[in-house]
Structure 1
Amino acid sequence: MARIAIGGFQHETNTFAPVRASFEDFEMADGWPGLTRGEAIFETFKGINLPLPGFIDAAKAAGHELRPLLWCSASPSAHVERGAFERITGELIDLIKKQGKLDGLYLDLHGAMVTEHFEDGEGEILERIRAIVGPALPIVVSLDLHANLTERMVRHASALVVCRTYPHVDLAETGGRAADLMTRLLRHGPLAKAMRRADYLVPLPWQCTLINPAAALYRVVEEAEGQGRAASASFAFGFPPADIAECGPAVVVYAEDAARANAEADRLIGMVNAAEAEFAGKIWQKDEAVRYAMNKSASTNRPIILADTQDNPGAGGNSDSVDLLEALVSLKAAGAVFANLYDPETAKIAHEAGLHASFERGIGAWCGSSGLEKFRGRFEVLALGDGNFKATGPFYRGNQMQLGPMALLGIGGTKIVVTSRKQQAADQAMLRHLGVEPRDAKILALKSSVHFRADFQPIAEEILIVAAAGDNPVDNRALPYRHLRKGMRLMPLGEAF
């Protein structure tokens, strides 16, 4: 039985977003638990679709003794503030030091953290930890599919294990794979490693593993392990709105010797490069999308989904753009539901006004992003909620949502789901909490790029990717990059940076 310390520190950083992540953002629960320390980790994370509980279950089944440190995350946003990073990293390292002799360390990280003072947050964390635990201790790290793999991460971790689905329905499974790899390292010693990069960025909607070519690529990655060519193989798409030198798709392979690791890494990156031309799809403009959805919804009893991808809070958007809402109302889209609008002040006013009351104000567009304007009108309070409810969909599976005071507002034929905490609309329970049955909507306008598909795609007639205002442009050429490495193509088959 091995003695393994476990913890996590997660943030996905959109360096073009308007709001930075403070320590309080990591303390606060939202779609995921807030900052959790010590033994409370075991109960808090039980049954949740996150890598940490997946690791816990598999490691305990293997007979390991687990020493819990801390776990925290903050909603995707701009850079992690220096003070927050130093405080959390410092506490994490102090907790590791207090554990005494360890046989291994597991960390549940994201892989796309950028701080006010470091481009590579995870690489910095791992380098500091490696300096205190020494070169021999096995350190296994689980990462998000959108991780921007860096040389420092690969150098200082014994193994990196990347999730394989987007929507991320396999997060707990990824933690289980990390635990299995930890057991292998403890029994048989270190593995050779190899990393390779692709030279193009893939917009988030086309990273979806429910469709090709991403689905086919991840089957190949999984087969690399199943057919014995690698002890572990991972492919990360990267997170495009992170303006750092090491942004973009990459593979990392672990094998018994360097020759096998290098050969498999070369084979996998070759397939990623060969798929470049296939990463494309139609982007709808907002008025065009609403008109099409209105026409289509007249001949079906299943919702048409408009993915408001550019204001996706899961990618650093502030979830407060109301461009698509304005289009729904002005075009008189009956039976439309717009979710989630992150506007704590409007939620507060709705609760003060009370059920069935109405009030006039400008909603949304409060965070200060350039070009955003409020949507003004008279809104009726159709329903109120406290924001505390159990997630029911595959992505947020098992988690207790804590979104603060919520309100359902009505204007014209459109209903608006307003939250007090920022969370992408990726679980039907968010709507049902306010009495809205998603299946009954004619049009569902959801602030999400892909994660909504896990719970909403099965009920949808059609899904349109819509380019409305927001800080997560679906076309990377709209982003003012300054730090990408030379030669990176901003879009598949596009011009080089």
Structure 2
Amino acid sequence: MARIAVGGFQHETNTFAPSKATYDDFAAASAWPGLTRGEGLFEAVAGINIGIAGFVEAATAAGHDLLPLSWSQATPSAQVTEDAFERIVGQMAEDLAGMEDLDGLYLDLHGAMVADHVDDGEGEMLRRFRDVVGPELPIVVSLDLHANVTPAMVAFADCLEIYRTYPHVDMAATGKRAAAQLEALIAGRGGRFKAYRQLPFMIPLSSGCTYEGPAKEIYREVKLLAQEPGVTGVSFACGFCPADFPDAGASLVAYGQTQGAADGAAESLYRAAVERESAFALEVLSPVEAVREAKRIAAHADKPVVLADAQDNPGGGGNADTTGLLRALLSERAEGAVIGNIFDPKAAEAAHAAGEGAAVSLSLGGHSGIPGDAPLEAEFRVLRIGDGRLTGTGPFYKGAPMQLGRTALLELNGVRIAIASSKVQLADQAMLRHLGVEPAAQKILALKSTVHFRADFQPIAETVLVVVAPGPVILDNRELPFRRLRPGLRIMPLGPAFEGADGRAAS
């Protein structure tokens, strides 16, 4: 039986997003539990599809003694404030320093955190925790598939285990793999040799979906290489592109019993990814094009056509309040279509005050100052109101006790609009059922999500169309005003390379 400290601190930082992540954002519950420190931590995360829940389940079953630090996350946004970073990391370091006779440390991190004062959030916290526990204690970390893995993260952790699915239906499973890695390291069986590679091109967010295409093939290769003799672990990160710092982008890491085994696995996976560069190309539609195509398909389909409002995804740093796709649904007269969730607490409050069946004048959405976007001013009918309390039922949010605040279902010219008081991407059918909408019975569903919705909605969909309406989660990286990437990195597959600090890119 080993004594293992357990904690987590997660944030996916879009440095181009409009809003920062404060301490209060980490403290509040939304789709996941709020900041929980010490006693009650393991109960708070139990049964949820997140890394720490899988780790705790596996490590407890193996008979290990687990000591809780804290776990927290905030909806993706711009930088984590210095106050939030220092308070949370400080709490974790303080608690860790008070734990005696530890055999290991497990951390459930994201891998793409940028703070106001620290580019590499995870690398910095790992450096501090390593200072606390010393150079020999095994540290194992589970990371998001969209981690921007840095040299510091590789150096200060003994093993990084990264999700292998997008949508992330294997978050808890990754925690279980991390538990096996830590157990092996504690027992002296783990691979202490490391190999790390950064890809020469960025992978657009929507191109990393593992249901199809090159990403599916890459993660099949990850599983095969992890079973090679002498190899103890292999992970691939698609990276999180909207992060303007030198280590942004796709990368991979391999571990082995020898340096040769680790290097061989890393080089094989690197070649497999580079050979597929052109296959990661982006395929998207404008809002009007997407709605017209959706209406054409829906006229003869038995299942919903799903539109992904990918660039206003709160799971990538958007505020979920842009109106570009909604306006296209209205202008193209897509009667019967449903769009959600639009984040607008004031509108939700007004709908609740008006009551079901009432008409209410609103200035809906468009409050984030996104270029090309504006509030939609109209008189809406309130079809349904809700308290925002539900439990996720789909593969991604499975078991998550969601708290969306006041919610409402509005109607304007035959288009129904789900609104909420918390920024959570619409990636679970339960979020629509909460407002009386049965997803499978609709003709057109427009969802503020990039890829995670596919886990629960693709099985019921006739087809999925990716839409580029205004929003800060830019899919075409050529539109992002990068200033600080590493020179030579191609910002799109087979696309222009970043030249340097002046921000110029060569075609």
Report the TM range for the smaller structure's normalisation. over 0.9
- Deviation for aligned residue 1:45: 1.2
Distance (Å, rounded) in 1 between the aligned partners of 2:180 and 2:266 = 21
Equivalent residue for 2:299? 298
Percentage identity across paired residues of the two chains = 52
- Structure 1 unpaired stretches of 5+: none
* Correspondence 1:96 to 2:96: yes
Distance (Å, rounded) in 2 between the aligned partners of 1:464 and 1:55 = 35
- Deviation for aligned residue 1:39: 2.6
- If the length of structure 2 is used for normalisation, what is the TM-score? 0.97
Distance (Å, rounded) in 2 between the aligned partners of 1:229 and 1:453 = 36
The one-character-per-residue Cα deviations of 1:92-111 (angstroms, maximum 9, x if unpaired) are 10010111221100000000
- Deviation for aligned residue 1:244: 1.0
- Deviation for aligned residue 1:471: 0.3
Equivalent residue for 1:453? 454
Matched ranges for 1:39-118 at <5 A: 39-118=39-118
Q: Which amino acid aligns with 2:239?
A: G
The one-character-per-residue Cα deviations of 1:198-217 (angstroms, maximum 9, x if unpaired) are 01111111100001110111
Equivalent residue for 1:405? 406
Equivalent residue for 1:288? 289
Matched ranges for 1:204-353 at <5 A: 204-353=205-354
1:284–1:465: 8 Å Cα contact kept in structure 2? Answer: yes
Distance (Å, rounded) in 1 between the aligned partners of 2:451 and 2:229 = 31
Distance (Å, rounded) in 1 between the aligned partners of 2:375 and 2:6 = 44
Runs of 4+ in 1 over 4 A off after TM superposition: none
Equivalent residue for 2:480? 479
Secondary structure of the structure 1 residue equivalent to 2:174: helix
Equivalent residue for 2:501? none
Q: Which amino acid aligns with 1:246?
A: D
The one-character-per-residue Cα deviations of 1:58-102 (angstroms, maximum 9, x if unpaired) are 111222100011000000000000000000000010010111221
User: Once structures 1 and 2 are overlaid, which stretch shifts more, 227-236 or 413-422?
Assistant: 227-236
Equivalent residue for 1:423? 424
- Deviation for aligned residue 1:362: 1.4
- Structure 2 unpaired stretches of 5+: 499-507
- Deviation for aligned residue 1:395: 0.2
Distance (Å, rounded) in 1 between the aligned partners of 2:283 and 2:4 = 47
Equivalent residue for 1:33? 33
Equivalent residue for 1:142? 142
1:69–1:92: 8 Å Cα contact kept in structure 2? Answer: yes
Q: Which amino acid aligns with 2:53?
A: P
Distance (Å, rounded) in 1 between the aligned partners of 2:150 and 2:283 = 31
Distance (Å, rounded) in 2 between the aligned partners of 1:367 and 1:312 = 13
- Deviation for aligned residue 1:376: 1.4
Equivalent residue for 2:179? 179
Equivalent residue for 2:188? 188
Tell me the C-alpha RMSD between the 2 structures.
0.9
- Deviation for aligned residue 1:438: 0.5
Equivalent residue for 2:10? 10
The one-character-per-residue Cα deviations of 1:391-446 (angstroms, maximum 9, x if unpaired) are 11000011111110000000011110101000001000000000000011111010
1:334–1:442: 8 Å Cα contact kept in structure 2? Answer: no
User: Once structures 1 and 2 are overlaid, which stretch shifts more, 437-446 or 219-228?
Assistant: 219-228
1:340–1:447: 8 Å Cα contact kept in structure 2? Answer: yes
The one-character-per-residue Cα deviations of 1:30-59 (angstroms, maximum 9, x if unpaired) are 111111122312211111100001000111
2:230–2:258: 8 Å Cα contact kept in structure 1? Answer: no
* Correspondence 1:169 to 2:169: yes
- If the length of structure 1 is used for normalisation, what is the TM-score? 0.99
Secondary structure of the structure 2 residue equivalent to 1:488: coil
1:229–1:264: 8 Å Cα contact kept in structure 2? Answer: no
Secondary structure of the structure 1 residue equivalent to 2:196: strand
Equivalent residue for 2:504? none
Distance (Å, rounded) in 1 between the aligned partners of 2:370 and 2:101 = 49
Distance (Å, rounded) in 2 between the aligned partners of 1:251 and 1:291 = 40
The one-character-per-residue Cα deviations of 1:156-192 (angstroms, maximum 9, x if unpaired) are 0011110100000000000000000001001116610
Distance (Å, rounded) in 2 between the aligned partners of 1:368 and 1:292 = 29
- Deviation for aligned residue 1:371: 3.3
- Deviation for aligned residue 1:229: 4.9
Distance (Å, rounded) in 2 between the aligned partners of 1:167 and 1:223 = 21
Q: Which amino acid aligns with 2:295?
A: M
User: Once structures 1 and 2 are overlaid, which stretch shifts more, 190-199 or 133-142?
Assistant: 190-199
Q: Which amino acid aligns with 1:27?
A: A
The one-character-per-residue Cα deviations of 1:249-285 (angstroms, maximum 9, x if unpaired) are 1110010011111111111111111110111242101
Secondary structure of the structure 1 residue equivalent to 2:213: coil
Distance (Å, rounded) in 2 between the aligned partners of 1:431 and 1:445 = 11
- Deviation for aligned residue 1:460: 0.4
Distance (Å, rounded) in 2 between the aligned partners of 1:378 and 1:303 = 27
Secondary structure of the structure 2 residue equivalent to 1:284: coil
Q: Which amino acid aligns with 2:201?
A: Y
Secondary structure of the structure 2 residue equivalent to 1:231: strand
- Deviation for aligned residue 1:296: 1.3
- Deviation for aligned residue 1:368: 2.7
Equivalent residue for 1:355? 356
Distance (Å, rounded) in 2 between the aligned partners of 1:296 and 1:61 = 49
Distance (Å, rounded) in 2 between the aligned partners of 1:125 and 1:228 = 33
Q: Which amino acid aligns with 2:456?
A: D
2:282–2:476: 8 Å Cα contact kept in structure 1? Answer: no
1:393–1:428: 8 Å Cα contact kept in structure 2? Answer: yes
Distance (Å, rounded) in 2 between the aligned partners of 1:83 and 1:37 = 17
Distance (Å, rounded) in 2 between the aligned partners of 1:176 and 1:228 = 21
Distance (Å, rounded) in 2 between the aligned partners of 1:225 and 1:39 = 36
Distance (Å, rounded) in 2 between the aligned partners of 1:281 and 1:408 = 33
Secondary structure of the structure 2 residue equivalent to 1:54: helix
- Deviation for aligned residue 1:372: 2.0
Secondary structure of the structure 2 residue equivalent to 1:213: helix
Q: Which amino acid aligns with 2:162?
A: V
Distance (Å, rounded) in 1 between the aligned partners of 2:402 and 2:467 = 27
Secondary structure of the structure 1 residue equivalent to 2:7: strand
Q: Which amino acid aligns with 2:211?
A: L
Q: 1:281 to 1:483 in 2, by over 3 A?
A: closer
Secondary structure of the structure 2 residue equivalent to 1:393: coil
Distance (Å, rounded) in 2 between the aligned partners of 1:349 and 1:496 = 48
Between the two proteins, the alignment pairs up a number of residues equal to: 497
Secondary structure of the structure 1 residue equivalent to 2:226: helix
Equivalent residue for 1:152? 152
Q: Which amino acid aligns with 1:126?
A: L
Q: Which amino acid aligns with 1:131?
A: D
Distance (Å, rounded) in 1 between the aligned partners of 2:160 and 2:119 = 19
Secondary structure of the structure 2 residue equivalent to 1:59: helix
